[in-house]
Chains A and B, each alone.
Chain A
Amino acid sequence: MSEVPSSHVPSSHGKRRPDRAALAIAPVLFILAGIIWWDAGRLAEMSNYSRIGPATVPHVVAIGLALLAIWTGFEAWRGDFPEREPIEVQPVVMIVAGLAGQMLLLKAAGFSIATGVLFALTAFGFGRRKLWISLPIGIVFSFVVYIIFGRFLQLSLPAGPLEHLFF
C-alpha cells in the first residue's frame, strides 16, 4: 500500500497522504452511532423520578461513537494511522470459507465432517494444499475431539452420519 520511502517520514512533517482505507472507518462508526441512536429513540421511556432510563446509556455511547468517527476521519485524512503491511487475500478467503462451510454443514453433516472441512481449509490457507491428505486428518481429529468432548464431557455437539455410524 504505502511502500514509498516518503511514508517513513514522521507525521510531524505533515507530508503524509490521506489514508483512504482508514478514512472508510469513519462513516462506519457514524452509521453505528446512528443505529444506536435510532434504536434508543424508540424505547419507551418509563416515567421515573429521573429522566434516566434504558435510553440514557445508548445515547451516550452513540454520541461517543459519533465524536470518535469525526476524530477518525481527521486522523485518517492526515495519514496518522500506522503503516500497514500488504495483505495476502487468498489465505483469508480460504479460512473464511472454512468457517462458513463448517457453519452450513454442521446440522446436516455433523460435527466431525463439518469441522474437518474447517480444519482442511485452514491448513490450506497456511500452505498445506493437499486436501486429500488434510481433509481425512481433519475429520479423524475432529471425530476424536467429538468422542472426548461430546461423549465424555457431555458437550452437546451435533451428530451426523459419521457419528451415528459409531454411536
Chain B
Amino acid sequence: MGTFEFLLQGILIAAQPMNLLYALIGVTLGTAVGVLPGIGPALTVALLLPVTYKLDPAGSLIMFAGIYYGGMYGGSTTSILLNTPGESASVVTALEGNKMARAGRGGPALATAAIGSFVAGLIATLGLAFIAPFVVKFALSFGPREYFALMVLAFVTVSAAFGDSTLRGLTALFVGLGLAIIGIDQQTGQARLSFGIPDLLDGIEVTTLAVAMFAIGETLFVACQGDRIPDKVEAVKGSVWMSAQDWARSWKPWLRGTFIGFPIGAMPAGGADIASFLSYSTEKQFSRHKEEFGKGAIEGVAGPEAANNASAAGTLVPLLSLGLPTTATAAIMLAGFQQYGLQPGPLLFATNPQLVWGLIASLLIANFMLLVLNLPLIGLWVKLLTIPKPWLYAGILLFATLGTIGANPSVFELGMLLVFGLLGFAMRIFGYPIAPVVVGLILGPMAEQQLRRALAISQGDVTTLFMSPIAAVLFALAFLAVAVPLVLRARGKGEVLSQFAANED
C-alpha cells in the first residue's frame, strides 16, 4: 500500500467520533495552555499523562498531538496581545506582532498568525506523511551503533548546538543522564544509585521531572521576580480580517516559513524556536518593507508563526519513525507512547499502522479545528489572559501536583516534585536550559541500551562504533554541532546563537 492508501485509512480512523472528540479536547487544551503564559505544551502533556492512563492509546496520543499543535497556535495570541510569549517558539512573534497590536492592527496580526499556522501545519503534516515512510525504510538498516550515533547527535543538538552556552547546555544534559542512571539496570537487574530506597528502584518518572521543572521551577522563577513586569493586554481593535494587501504580503512568508520550519524540526536539529528565528531573519532580508521591521511588519508575524508550526510537525518525523525525541514536548510524548507499551520507531509502522496513520491523519483534522478555534473564537482566548497572576499560578501548581498525586499518591513522589522544582528554579536563575535534562532522562537509558548492544557485538571494541559509514557521519555531525558553536562564541559571534536559546517546548 502506498502512503495515500495509508493516509485515507488513517482519516477513517481519525474521523471516528471518539477520536474526533479527543482531537477537539487536545486542540482546545493546547490552545488554552499556549495562550497562558508560563505553561507550554510540554508541561500540559506531562500533566495529562497520568490522567489518561486508563484511556485508549490511539485516543490519548491523538489528544497529545492536538495539544502540541494547539500550543503552537495559542502561543502567538499571547505574544501579539501581551508581548509575553505564551511559549518559547513565539518569542519572535512578539517582536512584530505586539507592535502591530499597539498600532491597532492586532486583528490582522492574529489572522496572519492563525492562517499561516494552518497553511504550515497542513503542508508539514502532509510532508510528515510522505517522508516518514522513507525514513522508516532507511532506519530499518540501522543497527545498534547507528542508533547510538543518532542519539548522541540528538543529545548534542538539544543541549549544545544552540542556546547561549555550550557549557550550560551540556551540564543540563549530563544532569539528565545522571538522573537516568537511577533505578534498576535493564540488562543485569542491578540497582543503581538507589541508596536502598525502594521508591527509587523504578527510576525517576519523566512526568514527575518534567512537571517539576516546567511548572514548579517556572512558577518559582516568575514569583521571585516580583511585580517588575507590568502586563498590559492589548485590546483587539477593528476587524480580525486581513486586507488584500495583508494577504499579498503574507502568503510568501507562510510558505517560506513552512519550508524553513519543517526540515529543522525533522532533522534532529532543535526545536521550533530556532525555526522561527531563522524565518524572522529571512523575512527581514526578503521584505520590500524593511523599514517596517521593528515597527510591526506583518511578514515578521506570518513567517515565524508558519515556521514554528511546521517544525512542530517536523519533530514528529524523528519521533514516529526513529523513536527519537528532539524537543521536550516530543520527549514527553515518547513517555506517553511508552506508558502504553508502544515504542515509536520503524517497527511501530509495521506492527501498528492504524495507530500511526490515525495519528497523522488526526493532525490534519486538528489543523482545521484550530483554524476555527483561533479565528472566530479569538475573544474567548483573550479573556484567559485577564486571569490575575496569583490565581493563574495557584491553579497551575494545583494541576501540577494533581497529576503526580494521581499517578502515585506518596509523600516521597511529592518530595521529589519539590526537589526537582527547586532544581529547575536554580537552573533558570543561572541560565541553564531545561529541555536537555528531560531529553537526557528519557533518551539516556535508550542510548545506553544501544551502546551496550553495539559493544557486546564487538566484544568491547570501541572503534567499532565508528566503522559504519552512517554512524561515522552522524558522529562527525555531532562533533561539529559542539565544535562550531564553541568556535563561533569564542570569536564573539555568540549573539546569533543565543537568540536561539530557551529550547523549552
* A33 to chain B: closest residue by CB: B178
Residues of B within 8 A of A40 (CB): 192
What is the CA–CA distance of A21 and B168 in the complex, to the nearest angstrom?
Answer: 15
What is the CA–CA distance of A125 and B228 in the complex, to the nearest angstrom?
Answer: 14
Q: Does B372 contact A (CB under 8 A)?
A: no
Residues of B within 8 A of A21 (CB): 430
Q: Does B415 contact A (CB under 8 A)?
A: yes
Which of A96, A99, A153 is most buried by chain B, counting CB atoms within 10 A of its CB? Answer: A99
Cβ contact within 8 Å between B448 and A57: yes
Cβ contact within 8 Å between B455 and A52: yes
Cβ contact within 8 Å between A82 and B431: yes
Cβ contact within 8 Å between B181 and A103: no
Cβ contact within 8 Å between A81 and B431: yes
Residues of B within 8 A of A124 (CB): 390
The segment out of B279-287, B289-297, B342-350, B397-405 that lies at the interface is B397-405
Q: Does B273 contact A (CB under 8 A)?
A: no
Cβ contact within 8 Å between A122 and B415: no
Q: Does A106 contact B (CB under 8 A)?
A: yes
A103-B415 contact in complex given A51-B460, A158-B405, C-beta closer than 8 Å: yes
Cβ contact within 8 Å between A157 and B414: no
Cβ contact within 8 Å between A122 and B397: yes
* A44 to chain B: closest residue by CB: B190
Cβ contact within 8 Å between A75 and B167: yes
B-facing residues in A70-102 (Cβ within 8 Å): 71-72, 75, 81-82, 84-85, 87-89, 91-92, 94-96, 98-100, 102
A111-B223 contact in complex given A54-B185, A81-B431, A122-B397, C-beta closer than 8 Å: no
A95-B220 contact in complex given A51-B460, A122-B390, C-beta closer than 8 Å: yes
B-facing residues in A46-73 (Cβ within 8 Å): 46, 48-54, 56-58, 61, 64-65, 68, 71-72
Partner of A126, one of B54, B389, B492: B389
A87-B401 contact in complex given A39-B193, A102-B414, A103-B415, C-beta closer than 8 Å: no
Q: Does B56 contact A (CB under 8 A)?
A: no
What is the CA–CA distance of A153 and B54 in the complex, to the nearest angstrom?
Answer: 9
Q: Does B2 contact A (CB under 8 A)?
A: no
Contact with A along B377-420 (1 / 0, CB 8 A): 00000000000111101110111011001100101001101100
Q: Does A154 contact B (CB under 8 A)?
A: yes
Q: Does B216 contact A (CB under 8 A)?
A: yes
Residues of A within 8 A of B174 (CB): 61, 64-65, 68
Contact with B along A137-159 (1 / 0, CB 8 A): 01001100100010001111110
Residues of A within 8 A of B190 (CB): 43-44, 54
Cβ contact within 8 Å between A50 and B455: yes
Cβ contact within 8 Å between B401 and A115: yes
What is the CA–CA distance of A106 and B412 in the complex, to the nearest angstrom?
Answer: 12
A-facing residues in B213-268 (Cβ within 8 Å): 216, 219-220, 223-228
Cβ distance B491 to chain A, nearest Cβ, rounded Å? 10
Cβ contact within 8 Å between B402 and A145: yes
The segment out of B20-28, B114-122, B124-132, B421-429 that lies at the interface is B421-429
Q: Does B50 contact A (CB under 8 A)?
A: yes
Contact with A along B171-190 (1 / 0, CB 8 A): 10011011001000101101
Pairs A-B, 10 closest by C-beta atoms:
A50-B460, A155-B406, A126-B390, A91-B223, A123-B390, A122-B394, A103-B414, A128-B390, A54-B185, A52-B455
22 contacts between A and B (CB under 8 A): A12-B492, A21-B430, A39-B192, A40-B192, A44-B190, A51-B460, A56-B451, A57-B181, A64-B170, A65-B175, A68-B170, A71-B167, A84-B430, A98-B397, A103-B418, A115-B398, A118-B398, A120-B394, A122-B219, A126-B393, A126-B394, A155-B50
